[in-house]
Every structure is written in C-alpha cells, then in structure tokens.
C-alpha cells in the first residue's frame, strides 16, 4: 500500500504537555528548520503537530500552511484565544483531542473548546476505550458531527509487539498489554489498536455506525485532501476494508487486490 504521508508529532510541542515525548528533544519552531524538514520529506510531509503558544508558534502555523502542510494543535497548553488564533492563522486539526491538552473548565475553556466550536477544524480522537471515555466520544460526535471527527490509532513504533516491556526508538521504556501501551508507572504512552477497534468503540459510545465508519475513512481522507480515498465511488481508489458484523477486519483490499483475507 502507498504511504499517504507523514505526520510529524514533535519536536515543536510544549514540554509542559509532552506526554511520553522526551523533553530534552523539544524546542520552539523555527522557520529555517521547518523549511528544511519540508524539503527533506520531498512532498510527504502532510501534518505537523505543534503548540501555537510557543515562541514563533503562530508564524510557524502560517509558514507551514503556506507550504501546503496541515497544522494540528496538540501537546499544548494553549488557552482558548491562543488556539483560536492558530486556527485563524491556518491550523485545521487538533491532535488527539482532550489528550495532552488543557482540561475544559467553566472559566478556562482552552484549546479543546476552541477546536470543537470551529467548523474548520478536524477533531482527532483516539477511540480505543482507554484514552477517552464513551461519554466524551459521544459529546465530540454530537458537537463536531461526522464530517469532522477523525479516528486515529496513535500507534507508535512498538505497536504490535508482544505484551511485556519494550523500548521505543529513542529509548523510552514502555509496557505493552491487551489494554494498550503504558509507561512503567501506568501512564498513557500511545495507542496499540487498529482502526477497527476505533469504529467499534465509537459505536459502543452511541455513535451511529455510518458516522463511526466515516471517522475511519471519508473524514480523514477529506481533511488530508486525499480525494480518491475514503469513499466507495466510481473514480476512487479500490482500497477497501471488509468488517465482520462484530466490526473486526475480515479482509483488506488495496488497489483492487486482496492483501488479507478474501475468497
């Protein structure tokens, strides 16, 4: 299957919302470095997650948007006004909404509410039953609607390895289990499940099946500008995932050919 593109999540994120990213590697965005990364990717860089409140953050949003890269607000302590300014500057996504972002408070709505209330913004959710509670997934769907909810796996380089201790590529120690990927002290350290799990989790949260399927297909394709992906229509690519009634993968078709399952 063809690589649709690269999502660069870090290093231009806030150390105060770093999650399992090593703080020593994090830094504010600088125009020259962004340009070099874009050029080195040779057109493959599609999404960059950054914290707009960092020095140079809004300028980075404008620069990346001008290069045709989608900017996603994430791993950020941005308040409502800072996030709204980033969306006005061109940011069009929020990375794994609610996770590594300030909580929503009555007098401090923060980046989450700024994203949910902006119809231009795609809302990523890690719908694995662990990162977000079912009522939160239901709320996001009700507010954002099927065209804006984007299911993501948040998988890392250790996803798919056997259960037990492991090290991520940069040396961070994690533990894999049936529940997901954790830090040794039990904190969240990324997702471990594919998007069939996301569809099932969204449905269990009360999201209608067509909308849950859209979150894993047409919505992300639209927000990535992939006009021949995510839809079963003439002229679109014949990339299809066949699910069982229990919403587990039964077969996968890429470019019209079975690569998993099949007759």
pLDDT grade for 97, boundaries at 50, 70 and 90:
very high
Mean pLDDT of 53-58: 98
Burial degree of 172 (CB within 10 A; 0-12, 13-18, 19+): middle
Contact 239, 195 (CB under 8 A): no
Q: Each residue of 205-259: pLDDT tens digit? A: 999 999 999 999 999 999 999 999 999 999 999 999 999 999 999 999 999 999 9
**β pairing state of 93-94 and 70-73:** parallel
**Residue whose entry in the numeric block shows the structure tokens 């989450």:** 112
Residue 95 pLDDT > 70, yes or no? yes
DSSP string, 41-62: HTT-EEEEEE-TTSTTHHHHHH
Residue 178 pLDDT > 60, yes or no? yes
Which residue spans within the chain are E strands per DSSP? 6-9, 45-50, 70-73, 93-94, 122-125, 149-151, 164-167, 173-176, 181-182, 240-243, 249-254, 257-260
201 DSSP β-pair partners: none
Mean pLDDT of 174-201: 92
* Residue 94 neighbours by CB under 8 Å, 6+ apart: 72, 73, 74, 83, 101, 111, 112, 115, 121, 122, 123, 124
pLDDT grade for 170, boundaries at 50, 70 and 90:
confident
pTM: 0.94
Q: Each residue of 12-23: pLDDT tens digit? A: 999 999 988 989
d(Cα 218, Cα 146) in Å, to the nearest integer? 9
Residue 26 pLDDT > 90, yes or no? yes
* Residue 43 neighbours by CB under 8 Å, 6+ apart: none
pLDDT grade for 8, boundaries at 50, 70 and 90:
very high
Q: Give the residue from 104, 188, 185 showing the smallest Cα distance to 143.
A: 104
Q: Each residue of 110-135: pLDDT tens digit? A: 999 999 999 999 999 999 999 999 99
Residue 175 pLDDT > 70, yes or no? yes
- Of the two residues 149 and 193, the one the predictor is more confident about is 149
The CATH number of 6-231 is: 3.20.20.140
For position 1, what pLDDT does the model report?
Answer: 55
**Residue whose entry in the numeric block shows the structure tokens 């099927």:** 146
Question: How much of the chain, in percent, has pLDDT values that exceed 70?
Answer: 100
Q: Give the residue from 211, 197, 207, 208 showing the smallest Cα distance to 247.
A: 197
Q: Provide the token pair at 219.
A: 């919505």
Residues belonging to the active site: 154
Mean pLDDT of 164-177: 92
Question: How much of the chain, in percent, has pLDDT values that exceed 90?
Answer: 88
Residue 44 pLDDT > 70, yes or no? yes
Interhelix angle 195-204/134-144, rounded to 10 degrees, is: 90
The pLDDT mean for the chain works out to 95
Enumerate the domain spans of the chain. Answer: 6-231
């Amino acid at each position: 299957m063809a690589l649709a593109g690269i999502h660069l999540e870090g290093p231009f994120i806030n150390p105060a919302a770093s999650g399992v990213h090593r703080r020593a590697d994090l830094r504010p965005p600088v125009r020259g470095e962004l340009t070099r990364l874009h050029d080195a990717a040779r057109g493959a860089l599609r999404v960059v997650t950054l914290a707009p409140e960092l020095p140079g953050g809004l300028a980075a949003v404008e620069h990346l948007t001008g290069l045709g890269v989608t900017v996603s607000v994430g791993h950020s302590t941005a308040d409502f006004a800072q996030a709204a300014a980033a969306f006005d500057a061109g940011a069009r996504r929020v990375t794994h909404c609610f996770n590594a972002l300030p909580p929503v408070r009555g007098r401090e709505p923060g980046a989450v509410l700024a994203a949910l209330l902006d119809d231009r913004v795609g809302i990523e959710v890690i719908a694995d039953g662990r990162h977000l509670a079912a009522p939160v997934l239901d709320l996001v769907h009700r507010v954002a609607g099927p065209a804006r909810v984007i299911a993501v796996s948040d998988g890392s380089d250790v996803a798919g390895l056997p259960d037990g201790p492991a090290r991520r590529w940069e040396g961070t120690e994690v533990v894999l289990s049936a529940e997901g990927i954790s830090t040794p002290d039990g904190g969240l350290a990324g997702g471990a499940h594919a998007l069939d799990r996301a569809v099932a989790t969204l449905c269990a949260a009360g999201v209608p099946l067509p909308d849950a399927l859209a979150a894993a297909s047409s919505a992300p394709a639209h927000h990535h500008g992939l006009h021949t992906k995510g839809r079963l229509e003439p002229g679109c690519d014949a990339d299809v995932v066949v699910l069982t009634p229990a919403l587990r993968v039964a077969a996968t078709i890429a470019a019209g050919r079975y690569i998993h399952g099949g007759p």
